[in-house]
């Protein structure tokens, strides 16, 4: 659980997008944006941690939304989250094939995608333990790499291994804050995407040992991960590479040689820096695909247990793996991947945009569910001290997290509204996830005539043994 918490959000958002972040907002702007988003994620995870220690179920916040808010809200949130990670699986298959082209440019990308899909499927099919152990290995490699980067970068900053740049790159041009508030707002979106995946702790809680002690430990490690990994990395990049270095803006999965991590390690004389970082990025991609397949499978299983998905998805094998849900998720991932090969990938682009918004909708759902959970606890005369783990600063935490989520969602493509004419295509692509969610929510609500559950009638029973 601790390693899933540590490695959950370390991926291409740090190893690759970190360059674009510094280039867009400067080192100071990057620190502000990631600091604020880090605080938001901390409050979200403490909210989820409180509910997950009280009721550790595989469906996590989908189940909480149904119990504490409205069955329609849980239905929409559950399917939204399943779709989010099923599409993420397809996206990581594409990214993995691009990374392999660095070493094997002549082998068709679809070969690598197929191999990765089989590997990820087997890791999830064998047992929950095989998922946990593989994720532990992936996360360990990422964590070690960040520590090496921070150590090497710190040595370069103080002049060991090369001339120290001092504070030069923090004062050059518009630094440390480039582009003002609008640039920081733009980085909010990137930072939010970078941290998506931290909520996997709540999904994994239903199958963890001693959730009442292990979940709080994992939750608290998030704050230090945010502080050390992201903030520390941006401090190092800010000192060593000027924001106007053209390499920062052009770093990508397809051009790993100019990832800020590669640039810093190469400057220190690290042999084969590009190949090393490429291998680490590959583990990050496989880790995201592995986690996505696990999370979406468990969400589909939990929804079936709650009567929100076909009953067939409640079936498990002798090792406790919900195999029908796993097959359905993998099949949808293959379908989504196939759309990237047809018609220049237009349909795939739309699916990815829906998925991108889905993560923030899930976070907003966590904040709302926790707020309702605590209020119901008080309304029913229960003692707050009986909750195994209590989130700090309630109700400030979930309210702040909800407000920031709404700001990020609203700002996905705010520039589409800034010109002489509204860019309706840009608006539709960026915000398609919101009407998709609302359509599912109101469709279920209308069909089943559900209502927001009165606080006095909220189900606070700890009947997770049935899962």
Please indicate, yes or no, if residue 465 is contained in any of the structural domains: no
- Among the listed residues 34, 68, 122, the one whose alpha carbon sits nearest the alpha carbon of residue 454: 68
Please indicate, yes or no, if residue 464 is contained in any of the structural domains: no
CA dihedral 235, 236, 239, 242 (to 10 degrees): -100
Instruction: Report residue 13 as tokens.
Output: 């958002």
Tens digits of pLDDT across the chain (467 residues) = 666 656 656 776 777 777 888 888 999 999 999 889 888 988 998 999 899 899 888 767 888 999 999 999 999 999 998 988 888 888 888 888 878 888 888 998 889 989 999 999 998 898 878 878 888 888 888 888 888 889 999 999 998 877 788 888 898 888 899 888 888 887 887 788 778 777 877 777 766 777 788 788 777 777 777 778 888 998 999 999 888 888 776 655 555 556 788 888 887 888 788 788 888 888 888 888 888 888 889 889 988 988 889 999 999 988 889 999 999 999 988 887 888 777 656 676 777 777 778 889 999 999 999 999 999 999 999 999 999 999 989 999 999 999 999 988 888 777 788 878 888 888 888 888 899 999 999 999 999 999 999 999 999 988 755 44
| Global model pTM greater than 0.85 | yes
Contact residues for 439 (Cβ-Cβ < 8 A; gap 6+): none
Please indicate, yes or no, if residue 126 is contained in any of the structural domains: yes
Please indicate, yes or no, if residue 275 is contained in any of the structural domains: yes
Domain around 308: 2-418+435-454
Please indicate, yes or no, if residue 98 is contained in any of the structural domains: yes
Please indicate, yes or no, if residue 24 is contained in any of the structural domains: yes
C-alpha 254/C-alpha 60 separation (Å) is 35
Please indicate, yes or no, if residue 425 is contained in any of the structural domains: no
Please indicate, yes or no, if residue 244 is contained in any of the structural domains: yes
Do residues 285 and 11 touch, judged by C-beta distance below 8 A? yes
Contact residues for 177 (Cβ-Cβ < 8 A; gap 6+): 25, 26, 28, 29, 32, 183, 184
Question: How many secondary structure helices (H) and strands (E) does the chain include?
Answer: 20, 0
Q: Is 345 exposed, middle or buried (0-12, 13-18, 19+ CB in 10 A)?
A: middle
Residue where the block lists tokens 């700002």: 411
| CB-based burial, 149-168: b 16+ in 10 Å, e otherwise | bbebbeebbeeeeeeebeee
CATH code of residue 85? 1.20.1740.10
C-alpha count within 13 angstroms, C-beta hemisphere, residue 349: 10
Do residues 61 and 47 touch, judged by C-beta distance below 8 A? no
How many structural domains is the chain composed of?
1
């Amino acid at each position: 659980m601790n390693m899933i918490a540590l490695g959950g959000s370390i991926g291409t958002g740090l190893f690759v997008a970190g360059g674009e972040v510094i280039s867009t907002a400067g080192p100071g702007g990057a620190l502000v944006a990631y600091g604020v988003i880090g605080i938001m994620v901390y409050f979200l995870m403490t909210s989820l941690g409180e509910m997950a220690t009280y009721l550790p179920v595989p469906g996590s916040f989908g189940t909480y939304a149904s119990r504490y808010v409205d069955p329609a809200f849980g239905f929409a949130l559950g399917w939204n989250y399943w779709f989010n990670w099923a599409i993420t699986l397809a996206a990581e298959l594409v990214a993995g094939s691009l990374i392999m082209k660095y070493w094997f440019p002549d082998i068709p990308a679809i070969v690598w995608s197929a191999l990765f899909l089989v590997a990820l499927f087997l890791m999830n099919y064998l047992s929950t333990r095989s998922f946990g152990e593989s994720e532990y290995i992936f996360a360990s490699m990422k964590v070690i790499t960040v520590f090496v980067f921070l150590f090497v970068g710190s040595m370069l900053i103080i002049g060991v291994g090369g001339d120290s740049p001092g504070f030069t790159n923090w004062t050059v041009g518009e630094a440390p804050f480039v582009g003002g508030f609008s640039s920081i707002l733009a980085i909010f979106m990137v930072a939010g995407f970078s941290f998506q995946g931290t909520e996997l702790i709540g999904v994994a809680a239903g199958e963890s040992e001693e959730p009442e002690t292990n979940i709080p430990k994992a939750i608290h490690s998030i704050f230090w991960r945010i502080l050390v990994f992201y903030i520390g990395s941006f401090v190092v990049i800010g000192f060593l590479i000027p924001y106007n270095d053209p390499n920062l803006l052009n770093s990508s999965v397809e051009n790993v040689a100019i990832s800020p991590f590669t640039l810093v390690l190469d400057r220190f004389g690290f042999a084969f820096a590009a190949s090393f970082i490429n291998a680490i990025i590959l583990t990050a991609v496989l880790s995201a695909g592995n986690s996505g397949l696990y999370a979406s499978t468990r969400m589909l299983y939990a929804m079936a247990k709650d009567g929100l998905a076909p009953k067939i998805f409640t079936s498990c094998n002798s090792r406790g793996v919900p195999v029908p849900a796993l097959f359905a998720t993998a099949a949808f991932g293959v379908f989504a991947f196939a759309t990237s090969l047809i018609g220049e990938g237009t349909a795939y682009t739309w699916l990815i945009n829906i998925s991108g918004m889905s993560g923030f909708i899930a976070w907003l759902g966590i904040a709302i569910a926790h707020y309702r959970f605590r209020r119901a606890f008080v309304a029913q005369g229960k003692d707050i001290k009986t909750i195994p783990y209590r989130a700090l600063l309630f109700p400030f935490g979930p309210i702040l997290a909800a407000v920031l989520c709404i700001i990020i969602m609203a700002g996905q493509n705010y520039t589409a509204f800034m010109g002489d004419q509204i860019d309706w295509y840009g608006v539709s692509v960026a915000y398609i996830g919101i009407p998709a969610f609302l359509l599912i929510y109101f469709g279920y609500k209308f069909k089943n005539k559900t209502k927001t559950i009165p606080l006095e009638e909220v189900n606070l029973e700890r009947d997770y043994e049935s899962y």
